[in-house]
Structure 1
Amino acid sequence: MNYTKMRGVEEKLVESIVRRTIDTAEARLRKYVFTPTGEKRPERKPLAKLKEEIESFLRTRENKLLVLYGLRGVGKTTMLAQIYFKLLPQIPRERLVYVSLDKLRPLGISLNYFVQAYERLLGERIEEFSQPTFLFIDEAHYDENFGITVKDLYDSASNLMIVVTGSSSLPLKLDPDLMRRAKKLRVPPLTFTEYLLLKRGLQIPEELSAALKHAFLNCDFSGVEEKLDGVLLKFTEKDVEDYLIQGSLPIYLTSKNPLEDAYEILRKIVEVDLVLEGLSETTREKALGLLLLLASGESLAYDELSSTLGLAKGTVEKLIEKLEDLEVIFPVRAYGSLGKVARKTPKYKFLAPMLRSAVLYEFGLFERDSKTLGMLLEDAVALYLHLLAKEKKLGLHYDAQKGGADFILKGQSRGIVIEVGWGKKGLRQVIKTMKKTGLNCGVVIYNGPLKKKGEVWFVPRELFLLML
């Protein structure tokens, strides 16, 4: 067989794969949108933003690229599936193309080659699409050249919207100029209110969450209890514990053992994502050990981590940096001058608290006790503060002095000192950090009633968790 014939056979094969991909998308995505009994699954809050962008494109044909990124297992594919089913009644099936690049990679088919085959099947060039067309690219980071293809599509396509999903390092791999023009939507782990909605079907009023967020940011919870309207009676302390232990990622909805499945997410991050990030096998072999050290709750400096893991300090820092990029962990840096901050190892928190549970569970160290629950609550509070810091452009720090508070959330004109505890908590640490920083607002998140002592509010943990 000559080269031309061979090329023709290859093209026909790829075209058949593209056709099958389009024809089977509805069946493959159905499980993400509907329960086994056919009921529609509840929708997460970020989906509203995705729907808004889709509707904007249908009206204006602008905003042609949306990048959906976040921690592996956070629910990005589910959101694509939900959008796919919303569009299905109004957009012809052949104009809705869902492709997961982790499925193409073993076949040796690039995204570029897939798109060329799609053009041939449709009988139209990308530049000349006659109707609105959607290309949903899942797991984009599996194709090392996807960024070039996406940029070419964005620059030349007409009537095409591209939605790309991938790990949290995905925006780093796209052309900087393209990223400035693209819409970016970060998908965080589940908040407690989303957990209650997805697991229990309990809808927390948005007005209540907004009131709690306003009260926290302004350090004034006066009158908040009047707005609760019996909400706290609709869930139990066990719901709070279950959320912290295994409810911050959507896998708990369908898994028989959520912590085992969460650990599998971490294994995939180590065995797949860290390979794609360019880390050596020797370094990757130490990744789960590093996560165990962090999950155990000890405050460890880079030098200690280097010694324990048997890796050079620079290698440890590189490994941590990549785990940050993939949003497994995130840093809370010490408060103070740049020089002081540089000398202190950040506190590393798990972005999804259940990842800490999963690591402890895998190594036989998980206990449903106040110490473990306290660490998980601190992770959840850190996640909430992390999201608020990004939304409000605030700095998130911790007080590195002995006996200092857990967190400091600070902007140019205001700031809050926060202490977290599973059980009862006193004022000492908050007051000490307030004096050091000159801030006049303190919040203690604990197990007890809402009350105020001086400039410090004591806020029940479940009340804080209803804020987002």
Structure 2
Amino acid sequence: MLPGIRGVGKTTLLYQAYYYLLNEKHILPNQIIYLSCDDLNNIVDCNIREIVDIYLNNQFNTQLRLLDKEIFLLIDESQYDKNWSMSGKIIYDRSEKIFMVFTGSSALNLEYNADAARRRFKRVVTPLNYNEHLKLKYDYSNINLGNSLVSLILNGEEQNAIKYENEMNRDLINNIKYNFNDWDEYLKYGGFPILARKINFRRLSTNIVDMIEKVVNTDMVAIKNFTFENQTNSNRILRYLALQNAGDLSQNNLAKYLKTSQANVKNILDILEKTHLIFSIEAYGTSSKQYEKNQKILFCNK
């Protein structure tokens, strides 16, 4: 399962997997299925299980239990089939010959589904960190700098961090393709792969806002017992976070600001984190210290 917010490259990953299997592993084309539930849903109600049954019958004149060939099933935007998880469960239980990858822009749908819990291996697709951004945009990578920063933070080792920072600065200065506003643009718009291309930043801003609205107004509303009041509270929380300096967030103060209970705030933050719009960082130390101190709440692209 590859949950993640829109625009982080899940569809591209599936295409890359398709061509990898086809060209490098020499899997026959009829043993690889790429399926976009979004596109299919525009024609007819998407039903993954039914599609797989039809495919196996047409291509191999067989059914799930009798399948003797290895099949790769790459399913994009799986949330458009409301029963995607049950379909995956049935396919998984009836045949060991089918390898399945599910992606979902409605990450919440993939996070909350109980049918997939025991059988799944989940890898969240996150926005790019700056090193990944440089690799994609300029074909430049300095893995040593990232490792040295971790050592600096955890162990206080300064020399390697200074060495690799100077090395990176020198390399980027000498890279004629490097845009010296690149760091500012990355901070403003986050680690979306589209930043690797020349784009209209006004349009990108609009797309990001539209994506957030779709998550709050569509994905979160689909959750049982999620009220219109909490939909409004979710939008207010996101605006509140956007206007604050990054740091500790007092759920008690936020509850007073929203005029709701602290338990309700905790519930909304938990759901927002499952959509991958935000993430939380616990205080470093013992469990008692983590309980006493407020969490840090950050947006997904920071």
Normalised by the size of structure 2, how large is the TM-score?
0.80
Residue segments in structure 1 that go unaligned for 5+ positions in a row: 1-66, 354-468
The letter for the 1-side match of 2:229 is T
Q: Specify the alignment match of 2:182 in structure 1.
A: 239
Q: Deviations over 1:390-423 (max 9, x none)?
A: xxxxxxxxxxxxxxxxxxxxxxxxxxxxxxxxxx
TM-superposed CA distance for 1:228, in Å, is 5.7
For the 8 Å contact 2:64–2:91, the answer to whether it is kept is yes
| Contact 1:72/1:269 (<8 A) preserved | no
Q: Decide which of 31, 54, 61 is 1:95's aligned counterpart.
A: 31
Residue number in structure 1 paired with 2:118? 178
SS in 1 for 2:99: strand
1:149 to 79, 87, 95: 87
- Decide which of 182, 205, 211 is 1:265's aligned counterpart: 211
Check whether the contact 1:208–1:227 (CA below 8 A) recurs between aligned residues. yes
Query: In the alignment, what sits opposite 1:138?
Result: 76
Write the distance in 2 (CA, Å) between the matches of 1:348 and 1:217: 21
Residues 1:285 and 2:232 are matched in the alignment: yes
RMSD (Å) for aligned C-alpha atoms: 2.9
Residues 159 and 330 (structure 1), Cα distance of their counterparts in 2 relative to 1, 3 Å cut: same
Shift of 1:272: 2.4
Aligned length: 284
Q: Which amino acid aligns with 2:66?
A: E
Secondary structure at the counterpart of residue 276 of structure 1: coil
1:126 paired residue number: 64
Q: What displacement does 1:304 show?
A: 3.6
Matched-pair contact (CA < 8 Å) for 2:5–2:107: yes
Equivalent-residue separation in structure 1 for 2:254 and 2:165 (angstroms) = 45
Mark the structure with the bigger radius of gyration: 1
Richer in strand (by share): 1
* CA shift in 2, pair 1:223/1:270, >3 Å: closer
Q: Which runs of 4+ in 1 moved over 6 A?
A: none
Which structure would you say has the larger RCO, counting Cα contacts within 8 Å and 6 or more residues apart? Answer: 2
Distance 1:227 1:297 in 2: 32
Provide the secondary structure at the position in 1 that maps to 2:282.
strand
Structure 2 residue 281 is matched with structure 1 residue 332: yes
Q: Percent same amino acid at aligned positions? A: 27
The whole-number CA distance in structure 2 between the counterparts of 1:152 and 1:317 is 35
Please give the secondary structure, in 1, of the residue aligned with 2:219: helix
SS at match of 1:275: coil
Distance 1:245 1:159, change over 3 A: same
**CA distance in structure 1 between the aligned counterparts of 2:35 and 2:288, rounded to whole angstroms:** 47
Render the CA deviation track for 1:131-157: whole Å, top value 9, x for unaligned: 332111222233332222111111222
Match of 2:18 among 77, 84, 87: 84
Shift of 1:322: 0.5
Contact in 2 for aligned 1:195/1:247 (Cα 8 Å): no
Matched, 1:191 2:129: yes
Secondary structure (helix, strand or coil) at the match of 2:200 reads: coil
- Cα 1:339–1:264 shift into 2, 3 Å: same
Structure 1 residue 259: Cα displacement: 1.9
Quick one: which amino acid aligns to residue 85 of structure 1?
Y
Post-superposition CA distance 1:2-23 (Å, at most 9, x none): xxxxxxxxxxxxxxxxxxxxxx
CA distance in 2, matches of 1:226, 1:307: 48
Aligned pairs for 1:403-442 (under 5 A) are none
CA distance in structure 1 between the aligned counterparts of 2:165 and 2:129, rounded to whole angstroms = 18
SS in 2 for 1:178: coil
Structure 2 unmatched ranges of 5 or more:
174-178
Equivalence for 1:249: 192
- Residue 102 (structure 1) shift: 3.5
